[in-house]
Amino acid sequence: MIGKLKGIIDSYGEDFVILDVNGVGYVVQCSVRTLQNLPRPGEAAALAIETQVREDAIRLFGFTSDGERDWFRLLQSVQGVGAKVALAILGTLSTGELATAIGTQDKAMIGRAPGVGPKLAQRLVSELKDKAPVFGHVDPAVVRLSGDDGAKSAPKPVQDAISALVNLGYGRPQAAAAIAASVKALGEEAATGALIRQGLKELAG
């Protein structure tokens, strides 16, 4: 089984890269995000590899980090998620965004990925919420604020700021994430108006 490849970028396809390793060209399928982060043809690159062996083919999937490869494996543990959908999710969301989406049960964020409908998005957040490495990159404040109990125990300006963003049409998980980031940036004594303005900047960025 191949776990890593280091070589020279030979060429790109729509969803794959050909990596020249000592004269042998390996066809490695990658997410859109991974392809965008790889160097130009002729330059050196290293990829973490997931090898899938089927009766009729051996397929290589490439990732810029071991963490991204772990997510690829974890996503496919959910019924209805194959390699193509897992790559689509990783192409749409970074590993940090994916962890936050699952940690805050944000179905809409995962549903942005091609091939992920509402039912599958619900299944993903439900089945993966307790599995590693889901909470590895999630800010605990975001998870706390996105839940009703955590939000109620937050300072009133924070509660009001989250409510204001929700009233503007943002989902509670996105609003909680934006205000949690605002509190970090402005401090816990920040007023509601300042938190809302900063929260809108976070959402816009």
State the CATH number of the domain containing residue 72: 1.10.150.20
Same domain for 40 and 85, yes or no, is no
Same domain for 56 and 18, yes or no, is yes
Same domain for 41 and 16, yes or no, is yes
End position of a domain, from candidates 137, 165, 196:
137
pLDDT at 192 over 50: yes
8 Å CB contact between 45 and 6 = yes
Report the alpha-carbon distance of residue 8 to residue 45 in Å, rounded: 6
Same domain for 131 and 72, yes or no, is yes
Residues β-bridged to residue 61: 29, 50
Residue 29: phi and psi, rounded to 5, are: -80, 140
8 Å CB contact between 21 and 7 = yes
Same domain for 145 and 133, yes or no, is no
Report the alpha-carbon distance of residue 152 to residue 139 in Å, rounded: 18
Same domain for 50 and 73, yes or no, is no
| Residue 22 belongs to domain with CATH number | 2.40.50.140
8 Å CB contact between 28 and 49 = yes
Q: Which of 67, 39, 52, 40 is nearest to 137 (CA)?
A: 67
Report the alpha-carbon distance of residue 146 to residue 13 in Å, rounded: 40
Report the alpha-carbon distance of residue 156 to residue 24 in Å, rounded: 62
Same domain for 84 and 53, yes or no, is no
Same domain for 114 and 101, yes or no, is yes
pLDDT single digits (tens) 73-129: 999 999 999 999 999 999 999 887 887 788 778 888 899 999 999 999 999 988 887
Same domain for 74 and 132, yes or no, is yes
End position of a domain, from candidates 137, 155, 175:
137
The amino acid at residue 33 is R
Which domain does 98 fall in, by range? 67-137
Same domain for 22 and 77, yes or no, is no
What is the model's pLDDT at position 92? 93
Same domain for 127 and 76, yes or no, is yes
Burial class (CB in 10 A: 0-12, 13-18, 19+), 144: middle
Ranges of beta strands (E only) in the chain are: 4-12, 16-21, 24-29, 44-53, 58-63
pLDDT single digits (tens) 56-77: 889 999 999 888 898 999 999 9
The amino acid at residue 76 is Q
8 Å CB contact between 141 and 180 = yes
Task: Indicate the pTM of the whole model.
Answer: 0.68
Same domain for 116 and 156, yes or no, is no
